[in-house]
Structure 1
Amino acid sequence: MLWIQAFLIAILVCFLTLHFLKHLWTHRRYPPGPLPLPVIGGLWRTRFGVSLDTFTKLAKQYGKIYTIWTGPVPVVVLSGFQAVKEGLINHSDDFSGRPATSLIKATFQERGILFSNGHIWKQHRRFGLITLRKLGLGKKGIEHRIKEEAQQLVETFAQANGQPLDPSLPITNSICNVISVLTFGQRFSPEDEDFQKLVKAIAFLQKFGGSVPQILYDMFPWLMKHLPGPHKKALSLFEVMHSFAKKELEKHKEHQTVHDPQDFIDFYLLEMEKEAKNDPNSTYEEENLAQCIIDFFAAGTETTATTLQWALLLMATHPDIQEKVHKEIEDVFGSSCLIYYQDHKKLPYTNAVIHEIQRSNYVFLFGIPRQTEKDVNMQGFHIPKGTLIVPDLHSVLLDPEQWETPEKFNTNHFLDMDGRFMAREEFLAFGAGDRACVGEQLARVELFIFFTSLLRAFTFQLPAGIKELSLVPALGLTAHPQPYKLCAIPRCST
């Protein structure tokens, strides 16, 4: 009896070994990477987690284009400026898809803009860009609303009377309200219960993204659906965001303002009405609208809010740079003139500081994954259609071949010898190609208006007795600062 069991076990081991060797042989043309083991793939190399130097170490060992298997799924990573540029710009159409992972299917449901594909994506991306322009993005109209939110934040900071404060929640509330104005046409009080549920949902989901439970959910959805854990909370919070969007949508339908559109929902409902008559294949429908709203909040809140948190932390850590920014603003505008985004050309040093904040403390660990739309040959490697692609934008912004001091905060990265602002091709903080960030211009306007408003009003200092604050990021879907407090000391001209 024992010999029969031993024989069956031997047969099973042989079968698994042959299957494993066949797997390696059939995928031999993929870029090199960690040996993919059964079940776990190459995740053993990352210890089932991601740190800031995980991808750096893999790129040094395997090259600028390498493959890491997450279970049975190959993920091709592009590292460094040249590889990312070739992938996202030279092969823009080929790399324009989004992967439909288990979590994305369960949450974003392949609707909206961020994680949709095909006709839905093309139609909604185009509509999103056009509508943002109609709403005045880049013009003084929307800047007026952004300046109102920036002033609200200044007043909130002023209420602390120079005492230590945690800026994270006030900043998040303000940026979230900018998105609210664009999508709903109104701002919410920080005390609004539903609004705070939305803010907390966004905060939790950014921590959940990239975590071990999220990776396990994508690898073993059939198992994770039956197990307790943070993935259950993440799914429920997506429902909270969806309900919030649907509630505001119903309010707009009741008030019937679509023929005098004031916000994104109004423009969308008007487009729905037009397309229903003209295009039987139109993808404009309420579920896609609700998902677009979620996309705006998910992609537009945490990223900009995190960048502003880094900005204040870095200014408190580099008081000399902070003073140079304030002096430039005062020299050009004094204390009374309003500053608009178009004025960034008059403030080259301030503009350079904002860009260096984004470069040195990039908010993502890597770019949002893409998927190949067809077979691609790149640098001698065969990448089949449907392969998941990760552009490592963090490696681009820290590429030692492109930046003089990549690991240091250095405003000279964006200034020429005469002190003029110098745009850099290597600055890919918003991605590139067909999937570049739809809200790039909005984020640029927000960062400039909020940053100049705050630096004009306050001197940011470390609390008494605190010699330094940690610059090591806390990792989730974004790389955000460790919790900190600082003092916003009102300036005499405030």
Structure 2
Amino acid sequence: MIFILLTSALLTWLVVRQYQKVSRLPPGPVSLPLIGNLPQIVYYLWTTGSIVATFDLFRKRYGNIFTLWVGPIPHVSIADYETSHEVFVKNASKYADKFHAPLFQEVKKEQGVLATNGEHWQEMRRFALQTLRNMGVGKDVMEMKIMEELNARCADIDKKAVNGVTTTHAADFFDLTVGSIINNILVGYRFEEHNKHEFLKIKNALDTAFEIFTPFDMTVPTWVLKWFFPKRYNQMMKVNAECKDFVAKSATERYEAMKSGKYTIDKENLQDYTDAFLLKIQEDGENTDYNIESLKTMIVDLWITGQETTTTTLISGFNQLLLHPEVMDKARAEIMKITENGSRPLSLSDRSSTHYLNAVIGEIQRHASILNINFWRINHEPTYMGGHLVDSGAFVTAQLSALHVNETVFKNPQEFDPERFMEDEKLLQKVIPFGLGKRSCLGESLARSELYLIFGNLLLRYNFEPHGKLSTTETLPYSFAKRPFKLEMQFVKI
């Protein structure tokens, strides 16, 4: 009898406590103590078929700001632009701290920019942004590097052409193009025929690391993996270490040469990001921010942010263009007019004149919307968001996947329709693939330049035809981020 009374009292206390917590948060489905909304989330993931569709369903039911409890922790998703901008731009300093999965913290060892907060994150981000600016990102020198790489890849395509037609996997072309650009920035060399195998090894290492980490691994405490899944835990740690060592192999060799006196950094002639980082070590000595392990982690972080997202967007974009050839033709006609019938390449300076191409790229980014689940920020104090009280301790984010399919923002969101941005150019501001605020993607400027120059100049040089099936079905609908559709297409020389 006493046991029943104690159990009833405990359950009553948990329910009342949960109700009190829920009352200090935006609306959402009814949550249970300890397990929160996990049963509903699993059910709707199964019935809707994807994370994005599940978020969209909750948005429609509970509004543009809604709460989902993942276990005992409330997660507040914002799915409209105005509130997202108010929270993460106007109050950026309040939301600089990002929640990091326990396993990410274990893997990253409090280094880099993807899984850190505080002073180290600020220093690494500040240094990376300054170094990229010094290397010409957003300027003519970076345009030259992007075009040099695109020209090299197009030359490869043209060599393989039969009667002016080359058939290839889109991933092979865009992975190598974008990967070579970022590798040149980070460690100072491009991938060509003689060293293409190095890129394939790096890409394979990164893909293996991506594929092995599941949402389950990202959710549970690290001790659960260590105790109950030791083989899996050890495999993930091994894959991560091998990935980091391989991607940063060139930087490590340069570091060792610097330590032995065989290599001296010339501050007047820095070759790449690695040179800039090693110069800090050479001048100030190693410390908690600037050391070889931190350099290796930063190279992996910048590789991931600089290569994966841009490649996925390019593949998704050409898949959409092949599904909508009338859009491809209209964009090409505009580019031909701007470049005097293709007498010169398209340049970044042409951006203000190519309104339709800008609209096409914006619509491609809206549909690609790489992150199914955006990174969560930590709310440190009670505040109001869009008229709703949000208690301290909640995780909050601009849920981009839900925002980009919000029919109150984008009419008929499932349609691929660049004309929406021609009718209202301010609507482009509400496509935010790089995030908002202090945790927005630090490679945004480079990625925007790559997308504009690659899309524009490829349409100027080739017509494109599908080879095999086309589909907009998501490859990994239950993952944190989208993976490229296996698209095969034909480059037809114009």
Q: TM-score range by the shorter chain?
A: 0.7 to 0.9
Counterpart of 2:300? 294
- How far off is 1:303 after superposition? 0.6
Q: 5+ residue gaps in structure 2?
A: 258-262
1:450 aligns with one of 440, 444, 454: 454
**Which residue of 1 is the match for residue 313 of structure 2?**
307
CA contact (8 A) 1:359 1:427 kept: yes
- Give the CA deviation at 1:123: 1.6
Q: Which of 201, 217, 238 does residue 214 from structure 1 map onto?
A: 217
Return the letter of the residue paired with 2:204. Answer: K
- Residue 200 of structure 1, aligned match among 204, 216, 220: 204
Distance 1:473 1:124 in 2: 34
Shift in CA distance, 229/317, structure 1 to aligned 2, threshold 3 Å: farther
CA deviations 1:448-492 (Å, max 9, x no partner) are: 1211232122211123xx6x621122223322453232222222x
- Secondary structure class of the residue paired with 1:40: coil
> In structure 2, what is the equivalent of residue 354 of structure 1?
361
- Tell me which of 245, 264, 269 is aligned to 1:256: 264
Distance 1:439 1:20, change over 3 A: same
The answer on whether the counterparts of 1:84 and 1:396 sit within 8 Å (CA) in structure 2 is: no
1:340 shift after superposition? 2.3
Q: Do residues 269 (structure 1) and 264 (structure 2) align?
A: no
Aligned-residue offset at 1:17: 5.1
- Residue deviations 1:37-90 (CA, integer Å, cap 9, x gap): 355331222217552211111122222222212222221211222332222123
TM-score by length of 2: 0.87
1:25 aligns with 2:31: no
User: Which aligned pairs between 1:141-152 and structure 2 lie closer than 5 A?
Assistant: 141-152=141-152
Per-residue CA shift, 1:332-351, capped at 9, x if unaligned?
22334133222222322222
Q: Deviations over 1:313-347 (max 9, x none)?
A: 11211112112222222222233413322222232
List aligned pairs for 1:181-196, cutoff 5 A: 181-189=184-192, 192-196=196-200
Contact 1:461–1:486 (Cα < 8 Å) also in 2: yes
1:162-203 deviation line (CA, Å, top 9, x unaligned):
354321133112211211111101123476555323212333
Partner of 2:415: 408
2:401 to 394, 402, 405: 394
Residue 138 of structure 1 corresponds to: 138
Q: Does 1:330 align with 2:332?
A: no
Query: Given the superposition, is the C-alpha separation of residues 276 and 232 from structure 1 closer, same or farther in structure 2, using an over 3 Å criterion?
Result: closer
Q: Does the residue aligned with 1:486 lie in a helix, a strand or coil?
A: strand
Question: Partners of 1:69 and 1:160 in 2: how far apart?
Answer: 54
Per-residue CA deviations over 1:376-435 (Å, capped at 9, x if unaligned) read 333454434443223211232233222233221111222258xxx667331212112122
Whole-Å separation in 1 of the counterparts to 2:274 and 2:27: 46
Residues 56 and 422 (structure 1), Cα distance of their counterparts in 2 relative to 1, 3 Å cut: closer
Contact 1:373 1:385 in 2 (8 A): yes
1:78 and 2:78 are equivalent in the alignment: yes
Q: Does 1:429 align with 2:438?
A: no
Question: What residue in structure 2 maps to residue 69 of structure 1?
Answer: 69
How big is the shift at 1:14? 5.0
C-alpha displacement at 1:157, in angstroms? 3.5
Match of 1:461 in 2: 465
- The 1:207–1:35 alpha-carbon spacing in structure 2 relative to 1, beyond 3 Å, is farther
Structure 2 CA distance for partners of 1:12 and 1:404, relative to 1, 3 Å: closer
Residue of structure 2 in register with 1:172 after alignment: 175
Aligned partners of 2:156 and 2:394: how far apart in 1? 47
Whole-angstrom distance in 1 between the partners of 2:343 and 2:456: 13
Question: Which residue number corresponds to residue 260 of structure 2?
Answer: none
In the superposition, relative to structure 1, how do residues 339 and 188 fare at CA in structure 2: closer, same or farther (>3 Å)? same
**Deviation string, structure 1 residues 205-264 (Cα, Å, up to 9, x no partner):** 44456x44334xx22432222316766544333212321254222222323235231111
Find the counterpart in structure 2 of residue 102 from structure 1: 102
Distance 1:367 1:341 in 2: 29
Q: CA deviation at 1:309?
A: 0.2
Q: Give the distance between the partners of 1:88 and 1:155, measured in 2 at CA.
A: 43
Structure 2 CA distance for partners of 1:230 and 1:357, relative to 1, 3 Å: farther
Q: Which moved more, 1:331-340 or 1:169-178?
A: 331-340
3-state secondary structure, aligned to 2:52: coil
Counterpart among 35, 38, 41 of residue 43 in structure 1: 38
> Is it true that 1:378 corresponds to 2:377 in the alignment?
no
**Partner letter of residue 241 of structure 1?**
C
Q: Is the 8 A contact 1:203 1:302 kept in 2?
A: no
Q: Give the 3 Å change call, closer, same or farther, for CA 354–213 of structure 1 in structure 2.
A: same
Q: 1:147 to 1:234 in 2, by over 3 A?
A: farther
The yes-or-no answer on 1:470 pairing with 2:471 is yes
Q: TM-score, normalised by structure 1?
A: 0.87
Matched, 1:316 2:322: yes
Between the aligned residues of both structures, percent identity stands at 26
Across the aligned residues of Structure 1 and Structure 2, the Cα RMSD in angstroms comes to: 2.8
Code of the aligned partner of 1:250: T
Q: 1:32 to 1:201 in 2, by over 3 A?
A: farther
**In 1, distance between residues paired with 2:475 and 2:187?**
32
**CA separation of 1:392 and 1:139: change in aligned 2, threshold 3 A:** same
How many pairs are equivalent? Answer: 474
* DSSP-derived class of the 1:30 partner: coil
Which residue matches 1:3?
none
Question: C-alpha distance in 2, partners of 1:87/1:208?
Answer: 34
- SS at 1:415 equivalent: helix
In structure 2, C-alpha distance between the alignment counterparts of 1:172 and 1:13, rounded to whole Å: 58
Paired with 1:222 and 1:13, the residues of 2 have a C-alpha distance of: 31
Work out whether 1:363 is the aligned partner of 2:347. no
User: Contact between 2:365 and 2:431, CA under 8 Å: does it hold in 1?
Assistant: no
Residue-by-residue CA offset, 1:263-287 (whole Å, 9 max, x unaligned): 111112223344459xxx8733333
